[in-house]
């Protein structure tokens, strides 16, 4: 197949357009564990059931909820999950406005944008999850804030354009840049996803700005992952870097795997955590805490990875395969995993970083 069909493109775009940093998977071969997690007491469940609902403000993909809700409600009948899709700035503005006026608001926030967690720091409950001790350190950066997934960056490329030598690193992508002006793609710096990854890469790699200087003149910067993937499939772009690893689960179901290939960034795979936190003074605090714990449990993590998210728990790797971070680490090497931190210096550094990137772009 030389080009993807229009219907495939529409399906792909719909799956990717929830936000610039939140992309979803499609059908999965992963068999999720539908059992009730051990360690959750009957009293905890009874308290949550008495509340009956948990309202979630989130930039997570629809596929997560389609996989999660039936299994959660089977394990915990009588508790309804009500997700509300919002990007980071919308989420913060709505929650703050509702808190100020005393209106009902979210019980749980799930978001992959560091700025969302910075802006809501005083609005989140510093609780300790039942599964705190079972989680890696990066998944619990602040008390009450837990990563339910950690999605790796990937390189996407048009198979016909790159031929027998697909790029396996940003260095390889930079080698494509010289004779292909405007044929590379990545997220714009105004995308939280794009900036967080670029900033993290620059803080770990001594040669980052040399690479950015080679990449920038050949790169078009976009806010939407779906648009970039569509253009790659059509051949408008040769390759894209710092792309969301959740696209791994979209290519085959949408018939794009014969046109578009992917690889990890062997010289620095940035990883974007997706955090969950209970909101202070939530209307349904017990149900919110139960859902947060469920998402961090073994069964909940298999539900997450079956939806295309990348699980943080090591003990689900056999079930989740490529959609467990420990599998990615084993493939690229721990030294090549660059975790996007929950570090507010990312925000203070942005004006200087933006100016330097504009200079690399010749602006």
Burial-class residue 165 by CB neighbours within 10 Å (0-12, 13-18, 19+): exposed
Q: What is the pLDDT of residue 182?
A: 85
What local confidence, expressed as pLDDT, does residue 35 receive?
93
In CATH terms, the fold of domain 7-22+151-271+342-360 is D-Maltodextrin-Binding Protein; domain 2 (3.40.190)
Give the list of residues 6+ apart from residue 297 with CB closer than 8 angstroms, or none: 37, 39, 40, 130, 131
Q: Output the six-digit token pair for 145.
A: 């804030």
Q: Which of 85-99, 113-127, 180-194 has the lowest mean pLDDT?
A: 180-194
Separation between Cα atoms, residue 350 and residue 150, nearest integer Å? 23
Rg (CA), the chain: 20
Tell me the CA distances in angstroms from 260 to 28, 100, 245, 247, 249, one per residue in order.
18, 47, 14, 10, 12
At residue 146, the 3 state secondary structure works out as strand
Q: What is the pLDDT of residues 232-251, one digit of tens each?
A: 999 999 999 999 998 998 88
pLDDT band at 7 (very low <50, low <70, confident <90, very high): very low
Of the candidates 105, 129, 102, the one whose C-alpha atom is nearest the C-alpha of residue 275 is: 129
Token pair for 243: 């792309």
pLDDT beyond 50 at 346 = yes
Residue of 150, 137, 100, 104 lying closest to 122 (CA atoms): 100
CATH superfamily, region 42-148+275-316? Periplasmic binding protein-like II (3.40.190.10)
Reduced to 3 DSSP states, what percent helix, strand and coil does the chain have, rounded to the nearest 5?
A: 45, 20, 35
Per-residue confidence at 8, pLDDT binned at 50, 70, 90? very low
Cβ atoms 16, 226 nearer than 8 A: yes
Task: Kindly tell me if the per-residue pLDDT of 205 is higher than 70.
Answer: yes
Whole-prediction pTM value? 0.90
Residues in the chain: 363
**Is the pLDDT score of 21 beyond 50?**
no
Strands 269-278 and 146-158: antiparallel
Tell me the domain boundaries of the chain.
7-22+151-271+342-360, 42-148+275-316
Q: What pLDDT does residue 55 have?
A: 98
pLDDT of residue 28: 58
Q: How do 146-158 and 239-244 pair as beta strands?
A: antiparallel
Q: Please write the tens of the pLDDT for every residue from 25-54.
A: 334 578 999 999 999 999 999 999 999 999
Do the domains 42-148+275-316 and 7-22+151-271+342-360 match in fold? Answer: yes
Q: Is the pLDDT of residue 13 over 80?
A: no
Q: What pLDDT, on the 0 to 100 scale, is given for residue 252?
A: 85
Contacts of 75 (CB under 8 A, 6+ apart): 34, 35, 36, 37, 294, 299
Tell me if 224 sits within 8 A of 247, measured CB to CB: no
CA distances from 40 to 47, 52, 134, 190 (A): 12, 17, 14, 41
Q: According to the model, what pLDDT value does residue 76 have?
A: 97
Mean pLDDT of the chain: 90
* C-alpha dist (Å) from residue 15 to 81, 274, 292: 21, 17, 24
Q: Taking the chain, what is the end-to-end CA distance rounded to the nearest angstrom?
A: 38
pLDDT digits (tens, 9 = 90+) for 266-321: 999 999 999 999 999 999 999 999 999 999 999 999 999 999 999 999 999 999 99
What confidence tens digit (pLDDT) does each residue in 252-279 have?
Answer: 888 899 999 999 999 999 999 999 999 9
Q: Residue 179: pLDDT above 80?
A: no
pLDDT digits (tens, 9 = 90+) for 117-175: 999 999 999 999 999 999 999 999 999 999 999 999 999 999 999 999 999 999 999 99
In this structure, the number of other CB atoms found within 10 A of the CB of residue 334 comes to 8
């Amino acid at each position: 197949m030389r080009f993807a069909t229009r219907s495939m493109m529409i399906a792909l775009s719909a799956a990717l357009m929830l936000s610039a940093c939140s992309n979803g998977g499609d059908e999965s071969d992963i068999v999720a564990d539908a059992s009730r997690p051990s360690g959750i007491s009957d009293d905890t469940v009874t308290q949550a059931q008495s509340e009956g609902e948990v309202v979630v403000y989130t930039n997570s993909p629809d596929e997560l909820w389609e996989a999660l809700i039936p299994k959660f409600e089977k394990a915990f009948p009588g508790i309804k999950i009500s997700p509300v899709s919002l990007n980071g700035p919308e989420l913060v503005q709505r929650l703050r406005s509702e808190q100020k006026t005393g209106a009902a608001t979210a019980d749980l926030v799930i978001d992959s944008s560091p700025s969302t967690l910075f802006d809501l720091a005083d609005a989140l409950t510093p609780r300790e999850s039942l599964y705190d001790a079972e989680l890696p350190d990066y998944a619990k950066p602040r008390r009450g804030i837990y990563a339910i997934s950690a999605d790796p960056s990937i390189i996407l490329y048009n198979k016909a354009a790159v031929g027998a030598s697909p790029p396996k690193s940003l260095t390889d992508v930079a080698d494509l840049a010289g004779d292909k002006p405007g044929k590379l793609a990545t997220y714009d710096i105004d995308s939280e996803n794009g900036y967080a990854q670029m900033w993290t890469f620059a803080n770990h790699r001594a040669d980052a700005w040399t690479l950015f200087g080679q990449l920038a003149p050949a790169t078009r910067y976009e806010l939407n992952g779906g648009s970039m993937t569509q253009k790659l499939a059509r051949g408008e772009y040769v390759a894209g870097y710092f792309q969301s690893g959740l696209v791994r689960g979209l290519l085959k179901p949408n018939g794009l795997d014969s046109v578009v290939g992917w690889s990890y960034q062997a010289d620095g795979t940035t990883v974007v955590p997706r955090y969950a936190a209970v909101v202070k003074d939530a209307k349904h605090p017990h149900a919110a805490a139960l859902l947060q714990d469920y998402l961090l449990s073994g069964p909940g993590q298999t539900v997450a990875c079956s939806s295309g998210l990348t699980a943080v728990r090591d003990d689900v790797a056999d079930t989740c395969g490529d959609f467990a971070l420990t599998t990615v680490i084993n493939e690229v090497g721990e030294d090549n995993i660059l975790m996007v931190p929950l570090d507010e210096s990312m925000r203070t550094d942005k004006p200087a970083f933006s100016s330097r990137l504009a200079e690399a772009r010749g602006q």
